[in-house]
Amino acid sequence: MTGMLPPGFRIQRETNTEEFFINMGPQHPSTHGALRLALRMDGETIVELVPHFGYIHRGMEKQAESMSYLQYIALSDRQDYLTAIQNNLGVVIALEKGMNIGVPEKAEYIRVMLQELGRIASHLVFFACFGGDLGGQTCLLYGFKEREMIHDILEEVTGSRLTTNFFRPGGSRYDVPDTFIPRVKAFLDHMDDTMKDYERFLSKNIIVLERSKGIGILSKEDAIAYGCSGPVLRASGVNFDVRRANPYSIYDSFDFEVPVTYNGDCYDRYTVRIAEIHESMKILRQCIDRFPTEGPWRSKEKPVRLPVGRYYSEIETAKGLYATYVVAATTGEKPYRIHTRGPSFPHIAALNKMVQGHKISDLVTILATLDPVIPEIDR
């Protein structure tokens, strides 16, 4: 098609057939939220894809400028709501760098344990939605079943199921209850068995293999160039995990592996996430063994005031690299500007590269394995 193309489409090509355009979203069950994708089709093959964002752009960064730093921790819950507890930590680490306060050992263990629980919860939602998007609605039920157990633990510790708002500079809001460790232990014992079932559902399922192997291949060079992170990057053969590359909290004291696969297709992104659940469980078991029962669970309380400067923190959430950039132009309780780098944004930017030449049903698979959360893209 030559001549005028709708905004965003760029590929110029000669073809004998008539091309047409399909709109997918913003209300669509498999776009994982309010994402709109404009597709340029040649028959049933996708020629080009243009994502349109902003349907859930809530202006958090503008709002943060008139909020205090502590209030922004609550807003960070609502960016990537599947990993809310991890986003809290990302903001809090940036604030701690500015305030120059440390964290006692017990608080670090609480942090790491909640981080890994949050990671498992997010990957279970991935498992559920991946199965559901491929047509296996049963997976939805199974993934959310184990997730409720994590929600119970989170609710007991933080008081909330989803939007936790838990960490504070120097520690957390509360100490964990006595039931925390036994509960996590019980959850892990249960999870060991269920993971075997889960892997039996999908990992060797012929439908999953047919629909995900060799689909949506993202090469190593493209993954780095587009700024992908997390399981998407690791499935393309890049061994990058912030927990290893720039260890924060006490992650350098744990024995765990960073699962890496090299094909970069949908199946690899799935296997990386399943392997990560196992690694998270490994970290949790080490935490349980070493959890200090005595000692302070937070450092001395101080007013949250940051001196003039720019502070940057990065953590590895379940989706990938979550970076917070805080600009304090005056010493005080309010930020001059806070910017968040969410992991899903680059993934959707790279989506066009992955879907070219595939069918629409493959697009649904690819989108499911990118595991995007749209409010975190739009903020």
Partner 1 sequence: MGIINLAPKILDPIPGGKYVVNAIDYVVNWARANSIWPLTYGTSCCAIEMMSSSMARYDIARFGSEVFRSSPRQADLFILAGTITRRMAPAIQMLWEQIPGPKYAIAMGACTISGGPFIYDNYSVVRGAQNLIPVDVFVPGCPPRPEALFHGLLTLREKILKETCRNPWQVGEPKDVSTMDRYREAAKTWAALEEMKDEEMAEARAKFKEENPDYKSSFKPIRIKKEDFPEVERVPFKRMGLTQSDIYAKLKEKFPAVMVHTHSEDPVEDVVAAMPADRPLEVMVTPEDYLPMVEFIKDEASLKMDYLIDIVGIDYDDHFDVVSQFRSMEHGHKLFLCLQLKKDFSIPEEQRATALLAHAPSISHLYPAAEFKEREVYDMFGIDFVGHPDQRRIFLDDDFVGYPLRKDFTHPEMIRRPV
Rule CB under 8 A: say whether 173 interacts with partner 1: no
Q: Of the two residues 170 and 264, which places its CB atom closer to partner 1 in the complex?
A: 170
Residue selected from 7, 12, 178, 197 as contacting partner 1 according to rule CB under 8 A: 7
Contacts with partner 1 in 103-142 (CB under 8 A)? 103-104, 125, 140-142
Query: Chain-centre distance of CA 202, in angstroms?
Result: 21
Largest CA distance in the chain: 75
Q: Of the two residues 152 and 210, which places its CB atom closer to partner 1 in the complex?
A: 152
Sorted by sequence, the CB contacts under 8 Å of residue 356 that are 6+ apart come out as: 46, 47, 48, 49
Rule CB under 8 A: say whether 145 interacts with partner 1: yes
Structure tokens at 254: 């744990």
Separation CA 61–CA 78 (nearest Å): 12
Smallest distance from partner 1 to CB 111, Å: 13
Rule CB under 8 A: say whether 300 interacts with partner 1: yes
Smallest distance from partner 1 to CB 105, Å: 9
Residue selected from 109, 127, 198, 226 as contacting partner 1 according to rule CB under 8 A: 226
Rule CB under 8 A: say whether 159 interacts with partner 1: no
Contacts with partner 1 in 253-272 (CB under 8 A)? none
Q: Of the two residues 278 and 339, which places its CB atom closer to partner 1 in the complex?
A: 339
Q: Of the two residues 187 and 267, which places its CB atom closer to partner 1 in the complex?
A: 187
- By residue count, the chain amounts to 379
The answer to whether the beta carbons of residues 191 and 274 sit under 8 Å apart is no
Residue selected from 337, 356, 359, 360 as contacting partner 1 according to rule CB under 8 A: 337
Query: Chain-centre distance of CA 112, in angstroms?
Result: 16
Question: What is the DSSP code (8-state) at residue 102?
Answer: -
Contacts with partner 1 in 38-57 (CB under 8 A)? 53-57
Smallest distance from partner 1 to CB 89, Å: 15
Q: How many residues lie near partner 1 (CB under 8 A)?
A: 88
Rule CB under 8 A: say whether 144 interacts with partner 1: yes
Separation CA 158–CA 165 (nearest Å): 8
Separation in Å, CA 155 to CA 11, 146, 311, 352: 50, 14, 31, 39
Task: List the beta strands (DSSP E) in 112-238.
Answer: 167-168, 171-172
Contacts with partner 1 in 181-220 (CB under 8 A)? none
Question: What is the DSSP code (8-state) at residue 332?
Answer: B
